[in-house]
Structure 1
Amino acid sequence: MLKTLAAQIKEFKRDSILTPIFMILEVLMETLIPFLMASIIDNGVNKGDIHHIYVVGAWMVVAACFSLFAGIMGGKYGARASTGFARNLRKSMFENIQTFSFANIDKYSTAGLVTRMTTDVTNLQNAYQMILRMCTRAPASLICAMAMSFFISPKLASVYLIAVILLGGVLAIIIRFATRYFNEAFPKYDDLNARVQENVSAIRVVKAYVREDHEASTFKKASGNIYKLLVKAENVVVFNAPAMQFTVYTCILLISWLGAKMIVNSSLTTGELMSLLTYCMNILMSLMMLSMVFVMITMSVASARRVSEVLNEKSNLNNPKHPVMEVKDGSITFDHVTFSYKEDAAEPVLSDINLSIHSGETIGILGGTGSSKSSLVNLISRLYDVNEGSVSVGGIDVRKYDLDTLRNQVAVVLQKNVLFSGTILDNLRWGDKNATEEECIRACKLACADDFINTFPDKYNTYIEQGGTNVSGGQKQRLCIARALLKKPKILILDDSTSAVDTATDAKIRKAFAEEIPGTTKLIIAQRISSVQSADRIIVLDEGKINGFGTHEELLANNAIYRDVYESQTGGGGDFDENGGAQ
């Protein structure tokens, strides 16, 4: 874990080294000042030597200026090192997440990843700055002040030693109990972020069902859980201050009492006593700083572990040593494919799938909810790897291709259509960043999107809100289809992507595909028979197995499930799941 995090310091190593150097310099100057002050009192004030006062006073000013300069530089470099460290963490996490396969993504919740990149990284940033500054300053101040105290009076300095041991024990107990509560509190931020994300993304549903009070209550509960744990932790940490004050004042009383007796006995000077009292504050304040550093570091251990998990997570889909860099054609072969999302799953999602699809064919895919239609097509672009068997594209196993090469030739319009904030052209160019406006317009005409785009005042420069909230479901689907067409793929997968468009528009889209991109293999997942009956062949899936595969006429004659669905939809207006569909 430490090695993973340390690797993110990168270009801020110089700042990370200079920070503790300046902090030590600051401590040395601060330690020197009480010693010079004692000299002024004993050799200047008591003896009436004004020259000595001026000379030593000047050295005190120089020491104070050096201390101020070192403190400023330590703060400057510490801030740069910690913020740069946090920046590198976020950048590396985000870049690593982009490489994740769907199987990797499934391990983490969206809210969990957001928390790790925000709250957890902020905790590590604060902890790193504390380590560079306080973890250097506090021990150095403690050691220097203790050494000077023993140099002045070993007898009185032993009071500090006893106080340090006792206070250290108290702080250890405080840290132990506070740490437990902090470790429980920070993972709760995942729940809080999940509530916020779910509520904001589904705000229309919340308002439609008048569930604002319920959502507010749920958020209050999630927030309350964090509040309770943090209050418990702070109730423990709060004992730090009184324990420190009790120790400081006790030490001051003992040093004053014992020191006064030693001054009377001429074994200690007034200046030395004042220096010892100053060192008393340095020693005990150093302990308090150390205690806060330990609390902060302990709080950050859970965050460090969570961030390291994301940084160390490696995609289970990797390029082979010598990947194939060209997809010959759009032919697809499934050879005894068995697949499940988890290795220890009781039943596979797909079982013994055997298919041979020719390049340029239009294939319809029908099946009830949960029949694994999306799982089947996800294997083609290698979003997941099969457990058994093989999937080939262009006659080559997909595991032998370069991932980018394969996915650039397999365009997928997902069930859940996603548009990004930006103009329509910006969204279309996700398919091809170098596409001209004319190419975008042609793709939109194929997807029957050009008509409604031209009704907008800004046409193709119309701004799309985040998530595509200012366009309808059918318009969003057609824009996503156009975006996929701009990739000029050898395989086009439409995963129930025309469910929100009317039947006439659906027919126009299918006709345009047949006429304009005949060489592209088209896989159309649909619930409506009308969407696939003109396909070259149709796959009927039932509980992760192929129940039928053939033309519309062949399936009507030979497949009971397909025939029942056809009759229900053409006769009674039912859907796949109501009659004969696999559940």
Structure 2
Amino acid sequence: MIKLFRFLQPYRWYVALVVILVLLQSLSDLYLPTLMADIVDTGIVKGDTNYIIRVGGLMLLIAIGGTCCSVIASYFSAKSAIGFGRIVRAKIFHRVEQFSLHEFDQIGTASLITRTTNDTTQVQQILIIMLRMMIGAPLICIGGIIMALSQDVQLSWVFVAAIPVIIISILIITGKAIPLFKIMQLKIDKLNLVLDEGLTGVRVIRAFDRVRHEEQRFDAANTDLTNTAIKVNRTIAALMPLMMLLLNFTTIAIVWFGSIRINNGDMKVGALIAFLQYAMQIMFSLIMVSMMFVMLPRASASAERINKVLEIDPEIVDAKQLQRTGQQKGYVEFKHVTFSYPGAEQPALSDITFQANPGEVTAIIGGTGAGKSTLVGLIPRFYDIDEGSILIDGVDLRELAQEDLRSKIGFVPQKAVLFSGSIAENIRYGKEDATSEEIEHAARIAQATEFISDMKDGFDSTIAQGGNNVSGGQKQRLSIARALVRHPEIYIFDDSFSALDFKTDARLRSALKEETRASTVLIVAQRVSTVMDADRIIVLDEGKIVGIGTHRELMETSKVYYEIVSSQLSMEEIA
């Protein structure tokens, strides 16, 4: 957890102020019992009313001062902790944005959400407590012991018996709680995962009548978390009654032995009252420490999970010496590229070599699992390759800044992803400063204008989270418009026409020819009709290129391509 406290640097003056204020508050609390003893032993016993009023007034001023210090310290400790939480969340999000897809898969989206929200909140809360109790409680405890000794040394032997018992009790209970808190955070991850899948996959769940199954999954994860929470809280719940029991026994012992000393004339009544108050302060400070130890294990587990995210070095990083691309705009070349997914036994792509030039359409076709989407996903550098090189305008993309590389690319993913907001905002996602005319032009090329104009608010119509209020074909067309508005040097369409009917598909490809004339276009498709007119068709089979050429050339030279065509077109259409 200490590693995370480096993010308190912007609030170091607030923290220093809190330390000073807590110190002043603690001193005021420690001084009050001594004044009370003076009032009893000097003012009340001797009947000196003026002394009582004078010392009582001083007590009132000190109490007010201590209260003001406490209120101001609470304000600045909360301000520091909340600011710390904001910085930590921002750091996690920034680091996660740098992750490759492999690192996303390694940790899991649900766990990343939990670490950004729940775990950060746990550390934030313990920080507030630490700023107040970590300083105040030890000071009160040590100061209370010193002041109690100043009142009566012999009676202080009560603490020698009580304090070790309290400390041992705290250590035993927190020792049992720490492993349970770590398990509890994992259970929260599991619950978030089940909840996320249940909400995002609601259409599939209802279509296959699996609502009851998902309810059982959620109930199982929820019950698992609940049982763990009950177990850990049952352990922690034993701490407070135990502390109060020890506190009461300590009070009884002090009154018992103190009365004997008063009866023997070795101690004054005021000193016993002061001693009793110091004992209460000491015991309550230990209870505060115990409460901090209750929350510390969970916060420690959360801090460890946060640090794991922040300590991950992204696999994909920019080279130290960045290069500029050559004069060509959008030239793509694969040279003997081999790529394997982490943990896979066989490469997803093996010895891939081809060129894609500006002004040309390069289509990629093959069976399911042939590696088509994997191949085009390497161009924006979602993953780093194992062997070979991928050149963009003559420069290895690993030598380019990721921001510069991706600014050259208009990527339309296989699964169309839209964000909550208006249609215009979703299209403008491809280019922040896109004008209304550019947005409308991109939508027209993407064949989206027709359904947009039918919507009540046109381009200002609201898109729900995940685009759930538009059809699959509409989502694909909006995703294509988002890429078009960018006017990139390289277009990548990863099976982006699969949800379109043949008529819309044909109109869209016809409009794209003119729009992308100066750019490099790579199309991944299942339909033969989508790739037949391409300047170059690459046929993949089990991660290897088994044919490159035009449609006519491949019909004569590639058995795999011929089988794909035969499965989709009639003999008359083939001829």
TM-score (norm 1): 0.95
Question: What is the aligned partner in structure 2 of residue 313 from structure 1?
Answer: 312
Deviation, 1:125, is 0.5
* Matching of residues 13-412 of structure 1 within 5 Å: 13-326=12-325, 328-342=328-342, 345-412=344-411
In structure 2, distance between residues paired with 1:21 and 1:413: 57
In structure 1, distance between residues paired with 2:159 and 2:73: 28
Alpha-carbon contact 2:391-2:397 (below 8 Å) kept: yes
Deviation, 1:325, is 4.2
Alpha-carbon contact 1:548-1:559 (below 8 Å) kept: yes
Question: What is the aligned partner in structure 2 of residue 438 from structure 1?
Answer: 437
What is the CA deviation profile of residues 167-211 of structure 1, one whole-angstrom value per residue up to 9, with x for unaligned ones? 111111111112221121112110011111111111222233333
In structure 2, distance between residues paired with 1:346 and 1:444: 43
What is the CA deviation profile of residues 6-29 of structure 1, one whole-angstrom value per residue up to 9, with x for unaligned ones? 221132111222222211211111
In structure 2, distance between residues paired with 1:222 and 1:194: 10
Question: What is the aligned partner in structure 2 of residue 9 from structure 1?
Answer: 8
What is the CA deviation profile of residues 234-268 of structure 1, one whole-angstrom value per residue up to 9, with x for unaligned ones? 22212212221221122122111211111111110
Alpha-carbon contact 2:30-2:140 (below 8 Å) kept: yes
Alpha-carbon contact 2:362-2:523 (below 8 Å) kept: yes
Residue 161 of structure 2 aligns with an amino acid whose one-letter code is I
**Closer, same or farther in 2 for the Cα pair 1:135/1:493, shift >3 Å?**
same
SS of equivalent residue, structure 1 residue 365: strand
Alpha-carbon contact 1:325-1:402 (below 8 Å) kept: no
Count residues with an aligned counterpart: 571
Alpha-carbon contact 2:324-2:395 (below 8 Å) kept: no
In structure 1, distance between residues paired with 2:345 and 2:566: 35
Residue 336 of structure 1 aligns with an amino acid whose one-letter code is H
Residue 472 of structure 2 aligns with an amino acid whose one-letter code is G
Alpha-carbon contact 2:325-2:392 (below 8 Å) kept: no
**Closer, same or farther in 2 for the Cα pair 1:567/1:441, shift >3 Å?**
same
Residue 184 of structure 2 aligns with an amino acid whose one-letter code is A
What is the CA deviation profile of residues 385-425 of structure 1, one whole-angstrom value per residue up to 9, with x for unaligned ones? 11111001112111122211211111110011111111111
Ranges in structure 2 where 5+ consecutive residues have no aligned partner: none
In structure 1, distance between residues paired with 2:349 and 2:411: 20
Single out whichever of 392-401 and 37-46 deviates more from structure 2. Answer: 392-401
In structure 2, distance between residues paired with 1:402 and 1:326: 11
In structure 1, distance between residues paired with 2:214 and 2:486: 41
In structure 1, distance between residues paired with 2:5 and 2:498: 50
Residue 373 of structure 1 aligns with an amino acid whose one-letter code is K
Residue 333 of structure 1 aligns with an amino acid whose one-letter code is E
Question: What is the aligned partner in structure 1 of residue 504 from structure 2?
Answer: 505
Question: What is the aligned partner in structure 2 of residue 568 from structure 1?
Answer: 567
Deviation, 1:326, is 4.7
Question: What is the aligned partner in structure 1 of residue 523 from structure 2?
Answer: 524
SS of equivalent residue, structure 2 residue 497: coil
Deviation, 1:559, is 1.0
What is the CA deviation profile of residues 516-566 of structure 1, one whole-angstrom value per residue up to 9, with x for unaligned ones? 321111111111111101111111111111111111111111111111111
Single out whichever of 457-466 and 291-300 deviates more from structure 2. Answer: 457-466
In structure 1, distance between residues paired with 2:541 and 2:560: 9
TM-score (norm 2): 0.97
In structure 2, distance between residues paired with 1:10 and 1:533: 61
Deviation, 1:379, is 1.4
In structure 2, distance between residues paired with 1:323 and 1:453: 42
In structure 1, distance between residues paired with 2:170 and 2:8: 30
Alpha-carbon contact 1:326-1:405 (below 8 Å) kept: no
Deviation, 1:363, is 1.1
Deviation, 1:572, is 9.5
In structure 2, distance between residues paired with 1:112 and 1:119: 10
Question: What is the aligned partner in structure 2 of residue 554 from structure 1?
Answer: 553
Deviation, 1:361, is 1.3
In structure 2, distance between residues paired with 1:281 and 1:537: 85
Alpha-carbon contact 1:368-1:542 (below 8 Å) kept: yes
Alpha-carbon contact 1:334-1:353 (below 8 Å) kept: yes
C-alpha RMSD of the superposition = 1.6
In structure 2, distance between residues paired with 1:476 and 1:368: 24
Alpha-carbon contact 2:325-2:395 (below 8 Å) kept: no
Alpha-carbon contact 1:142-1:282 (below 8 Å) kept: yes
What is the CA deviation profile of residues 312-347 of structure 1, one whole-angstrom value per residue up to 9, with x for unaligned ones? 2232222223423456322211111111122x5321
What is the CA deviation profile of residues 122-167 of structure 1, one whole-angstrom value per residue up to 9, with x for unaligned ones? 1001111111111111111111111111111111111012200111
Single out whichever of 212-221 and 554-563 deviates more from structure 2. Answer: 212-221
Question: What is the aligned partner in structure 2 of residue 579 from structure 1?
Answer: none
SS of equivalent residue, structure 1 residue 9: helix
SS of equivalent residue, structure 1 residue 106: helix
SS of equivalent residue, structure 2 residue 46: coil
**Closer, same or farther in 2 for the Cα pair 1:489/1:50, shift >3 Å?**
same
SS of equivalent residue, structure 1 residue 385: coil
Question: What is the aligned partner in structure 2 of residue 580 from structure 1?
Answer: none
Alpha-carbon contact 1:493-1:524 (below 8 Å) kept: yes
Residue 286 of structure 1 aligns with an amino acid whose one-letter code is S
Alpha-carbon contact 2:370-2:542 (below 8 Å) kept: yes
SS of equivalent residue, structure 1 residue 351: strand
Alpha-carbon contact 2:14-2:77 (below 8 Å) kept: yes
In structure 2, distance between residues paired with 1:460 and 1:549: 41
What is the CA deviation profile of residues 367-391 of structure 1, one whole-angstrom value per residue up to 9, with x for unaligned ones? 1221111111111122221111100
Single out whichever of 163-172 and 506-515 deviates more from structure 2. Answer: 506-515
Residue 186 of structure 1 aligns with an amino acid whose one-letter code is Q
Deviation, 1:112, is 0.5
In structure 2, distance between residues paired with 1:440 and 1:234: 56
SS of equivalent residue, structure 2 residue 473: helix
Alpha-carbon contact 1:325-1:405 (below 8 Å) kept: no
Ranges in structure 1 where 5+ consecutive residues have no aligned partner: 574-583
In structure 1, distance between residues paired with 2:464 and 2:52: 72
